Amino acid sequence: MDEQERQENSEQDDAGEKNEEATAEPTAEAESVADKTDESATDEAEAPAAEVKEEPAEEAGDSDDGESDADSADESEPTAESKDEPEAVEAEAPAAESADEPTAEEASAAPVEADEPSEDEAEEPEAEEELADAPAISGLIGRKIGMTTYYTDDGRAVPVTAVEVGPCTVTQVKTAARHGYEAVQVGFLPAKNLNKPMAGHLERSGGRFRHLQEFGVEDLGEFEVGQKILANLFDTGDRIKVSGISKGKGFAGGVRRYGFAGGPKTHGQSDRHRAPGSIGAGSSPGRVWPGTKMAGHYGAASITQRGLRVVLSDPSRNLLLVGGSVPGHKNSILRIEKQA
């Protein structure tokens, strides 16, 4: 009995070991399989992450499946309503334009607008109006503007005096039958205040003038009261003479006024350097001759400068450039006459 029990116990022990081995092997295999699956899962998880970084669009498309395709199809392909709406808008737009467009009758009734000038035509200066020939009169009244420098075509610098000449208005025509000589009186620059006799004299001319001068003429038939005479009376190159009142210099001695040499500077003449010296005889005639050159008021006298030349004549601005200087200060009144 004991041997039988021992054999049975040994058999049971062997069967238990076999069962334990059998159970242990599947668990080991399961653990190895589990480890492999975990490693593969981690590899697969890392691989899609890289793929997602590199190609996000494809995985997004694969993950969305039909829903994303449907959404993209909805976004890309307009619906039937959206397709119909542009056609309706396009159909309405021409109608609105046609409503704004004038009909044939309105177009014919509307005035035709002149074509706008091109840029070239707009930039072209207007042609200057040709001035009528000036009548034959010996001169005009002018106003001194000042001196400047004029450069000729060959580069020479010429000192000139700018003179405003005219426009002058004929205020009176004097005849030999009534006045004893033939001349034309002209007026220059408007006057603020006039007495009644002068206002009545100038009434026929239609103006009020500060300065009046008379000039000789060749034919009185060319002139009438109220006629305008412009600076085109003078041409470039004409010889003229200019009369005016010189600048006043106040009281001056004989050295400055007449160019006296003065007394000697030696032999005790310490105070006679600018003295006038003798002014005439003693007992006979016993007086000073009229017109003797002495100290006195210098300047502010009527002077006529002859032999001047017109460097430039600009009738459009009533301007003359006269070579050299002319008598008077700025804005002084001048008498400009032609010189043969």
Q: Would you place residue 176 in the very low, low, confident or very high pLDDT band (cuts 50, 70, 90)?
A: very high
Residue 212 token pair: 């009046």
Higher pLDDT, 240 or 4: 240
Q: Would you place residue 68 in the very low, low, confident or very high pLDDT band (cuts 50, 70, 90)?
A: very low
Candidate from 35-39, 155-159, 331-335 with smallest mean pLDDT: 35-39
Q: Would you place residue 115 in the very low, low, confident or very high pLDDT band (cuts 50, 70, 90)?
A: low
Q: What are phi and psi of 284, to 5 degrees?
A: -130, 120
**Integer Cα distance of 55 and 151 in angstroms:** 83
Tens digits of residue pLDDT in 241-295: 999 999 999 999 999 999 999 998 898 888 889 999 888 888 888 899 999 999 9
Tens digits of residue pLDDT in 5-57: 676 666 666 666 555 555 545 454 545 545 555 555 445 444 444 444 444 44
Provide the pLDDT for residue 6.
72
Provide the pLDDT for residue 259.
94
Provide the pLDDT for residue 52.
42
**Integer Cα distance of 53 and 175 in angstroms:** 117
Q: Would you place residue 238 in the very low, low, confident or very high pLDDT band (cuts 50, 70, 90)?
A: very high
Q: Which residue's entry shows tokens 């001319």? A: 205
Over pLDDT 90: what percentage of the chain? 46
Provide the pLDDT for residue 283.
87
28: helix, strand or coil? helix
Provide the pLDDT for residue 284.
86
254: helix, strand or coil? helix
**Cβ pair 174, 181 in contact under 8 A:** yes
Strand order across the beta sheet in which 168-174 lies: 209-215, 183-190, 168-174, 228-229
308-317 burial, b if ≥16 CB within 10 A, otherwise e? bbbbbbebee
Candidate from 24-33, 125-134, 237-246, 292-301 with smallest mean pLDDT: 24-33
**Integer Cα distance of 128 and 33 in angstroms:** 112
Among residues 248, 242, 192, which one has the least CA distance to residue 213?
242
Provide the pLDDT for residue 79.
47
**Integer Cα distance of 147 and 325 in angstroms:** 7
Full-model pTM:
0.57
**Cβ pair 225, 203 in contact under 8 A:** no
Q: Would you place residue 130 in the very low, low, confident or very high pLDDT band (cuts 50, 70, 90)?
A: low
Candidate from 57-61, 255-259, 335-339 with smallest mean pLDDT: 57-61
Residue-averaged pLDDT of the chain: 76
Q: Name the CA radius of gyration of the chain, rounded.
A: 60
The yes-or-no verdict on residue 187 having pLDDT over 50 is yes
